[in-house]
Structure 1
Amino acid sequence: MIENVNAEQIEQTATRKTLRFEIILVLALSLGQSAVYSLISFADKVSRAPLRDQTTSMNNPLNTREYFDLSYQLLDIFFALIPVLLALYLMHRTLGRSVKDVGFDFRRPGKDLLLGAGLFLAMGLGTLGVYAAGRALGVTTALSTANLGDYWWSVPVLLLSAVRHAVLEEVIMLGFLFTYGKKLNLGPWTLILGSALIRGSYHLYQGVGPMLGNIAMGVIFGWIYQKYGRVMPLVIAHFLLDAVGFVGFMLFGPAIGIGG
């Protein structure tokens, strides 16, 4: 009897170690890695000059030649999504969970789109407010979100980049982490706050304002995922936020004096 109990304890310990290792592995290859680089980037910026005087550039050219740049952009998007496949594979192999279990599917397109669009409108207004406040307080850099050349493929690549960010962040920060966290017996608010803090940390390179804004967004998204158990509405909302931020900046930024 004692031997059986010990065997069960060893198996449980091994399982918990496996879960923790797989969480670390996925984060180290994706958003956890981004968080570390973001912290170093922030330290570099604040030690150089006031944040209000600096600009953070996103979606930058990767080559000076048009079609090599396109090739690099597409490869960058493709390989950035590999950790998502790894996370989904590990969830299925280790926990027997599928994409349907985290709501990363198209079973409820109408409801997902409606909720995602509503979140986009609410979070979009909040994001603009936090950004404006951060700039006014001098704790946020200016953001230049679309810096590709004037090519026929620039808008499609920016939209694919928005897809990349939405899928990568929401599937890993919500679907993967919450599934593993529940198996480790973490409470709902521990998961919500932990995920939100990680989300904020990998946006710190933009300044304190975007970090705080993304923490707030992470709490809201985490609560909604905890309530409905579907990641797709949050992927949709995130995609719309980034698509408008990227493409809108490229198309209309120069006209209002903030791009070009």
Structure 2
Amino acid sequence: MRRRVTAEVWIVLGLSLGQSAVYALVNIVARLTADAPLSSQSTTLNPSRSPRPYLDLTYQLLNIGFALLPVALALYLLSANGRSAVRRIGLDLVRPWRDLATGVGLAALIGIPGLGLYVLGRAIGITVEVQASALNAAWWTIPVLILSALQNALLEEVIAVGYLTERLRDLRWGALPIVTASALLRGSYHLYQGIGPFVGNVVMGVVFAEYYRRRRRVMPLVVAHTLLDIVAFVGYALLPVEVREALGIR
């Protein structure tokens, strides 16, 4: 049974965040060995996929939809014994206002120091310039960015926190190894952004994984992550050029 659960975890991660972590690791090695320093390199989180607006929209929606398939797989596997997976990991709506308030609090707790860490990382040269969105302006741009934020939140919180914690508990892992594994996984697939975001996301991972370990609810984490990404994605497009330059972004 342990071997089967272990294989399942590797398969789920290999189809989702684990795959991203491997690519991010290769990417950071390539960045660190490039002629240009990290501070002069950049990455784009939401690139345009076609100069034709409606084809671009189609690609964006397809990308979001297919990215959620590992979430569906993880929930399906967690419900294999007849239990509701969404109830098991607290992804339901039984306490919406409390989850919303907790999510807002967690977003503030992580977001404000995270912005400071990004600025510091840019200043000392360990963080690449992160362009949160390169979508062409269209009526659907902001709705797609919001959907992208929600997709990221569901993918990361359901798999890196809810699913991984439950499966590692099934394997009789202790609290500290579980929190550490979840936090390091979160940091690893952000390595392509530089060393600073890796550290920041490991800290975020510790906070989120420990919250889940104590409360067994992933919904506040989804709320918090969605809010953080909405502010980053949508706010980026609305920031004046002077503010972007002050933060070291274009």
TM-score range, shorter chain: over 0.9
**What do you get for the CA RMSD once the two structures are aligned?**
1.3
CA shift for structure 1 position 95: 7.6
Q: Match of 1:78?
A: 65
- 1:45 equivalenced with 2:45 (yes/no): no
CA shift for structure 1 position 256: 3.0
Q: Match of 1:226?
A: 213
Match of 2:86 among 78, 99, 103: 99
Q: Structure 2 regions of 5+ residues with no counterpart?
A: none
Deviation string 1:99-145 (CA, Å, 9 cap, x unpaired) is 10110010010110111000111111111111111111100001100
Q: Match of 1:118?
A: 105
Q: How many residues align?
A: 246
Q: Tell me, in whole angstroms, the C-alpha distance in 2 between the residues paired with 1:85 and 1:253.
A: 39
Q: Match of 1:143?
A: 130
- 1:238 equivalenced with 2:198 (yes/no): no
Q: Match of 1:7?
A: none
Q: Tell me, in whole angstroms, the C-alpha distance in 1 between the residues paired with 2:100 and 2:19.
A: 31
Q: Tell me, in whole angstroms, the C-alpha distance in 1 between the residues paired with 2:129 and 2:172.
A: 41
CA shift for structure 1 position 45: 1.3
Match of 1:161 among 145, 148, 156: 148
CA shift for structure 1 position 93: 1.2
CA shift for structure 1 position 94: 5.2
CA shift for structure 1 position 61: 0.7
TM-score by length of 1: 0.92
CA shift for structure 1 position 257: 4.4
Q: Match of 1:23?
A: 9
Q: Match of 2:18?
A: 32
- 1:250 equivalenced with 2:205 (yes/no): no
Pair member with larger Rg: 1
Q: Match of 2:52?
A: 65
Q: Report the CA distance shift for 1:227/1:62 in structure 2 as closer, same or farther (over 3 A).
A: same
- The secondary structure found in structure 2 opposite 1:62 is coil
- The secondary structure found in structure 2 opposite 1:178 is helix
Letter in 1 for 2:11: L
Q: Percent identity?
A: 46
TM-score by length of 2: 0.95
Deviation string 1:135-193 (CA, Å, 9 cap, x unpaired) is 11100001100110011100000000000000000000111011111110000111001
Deviation string 1:52-77 (CA, Å, 9 cap, x unpaired) is 11111110011121110000000000
Q: Tell me, in whole angstroms, the C-alpha distance in 1 between the residues paired with 2:240 and 2:7.
A: 44
Q: Tell me, in whole angstroms, the C-alpha distance in 2 between the residues paired with 1:143 and 1:94.
A: 42
Letter in 2 for 1:24: W
Letter in 2 for 1:38: A
Q: Match of 1:185?
A: 172
Q: Structure 1 regions of 5+ residues with no counterpart?
A: 1-14
- The secondary structure found in structure 2 opposite 1:148 is coil
Q: Tell me, in whole angstroms, the C-alpha distance in 1 between the residues paired with 2:133 and 2:111.
A: 18
Q: Report the CA distance shift for 1:210/1:30 in structure 2 as closer, same or farther (over 3 A).
A: same
Match of 1:171 among 158, 168, 183: 158
Q: Match of 1:134?
A: 121
CA shift for structure 1 position 96: 4.0
Q: Tell me, in whole angstroms, the C-alpha distance in 1 between the residues paired with 2:116 and 2:222.
A: 22
Q: Match of 1:10?
A: none
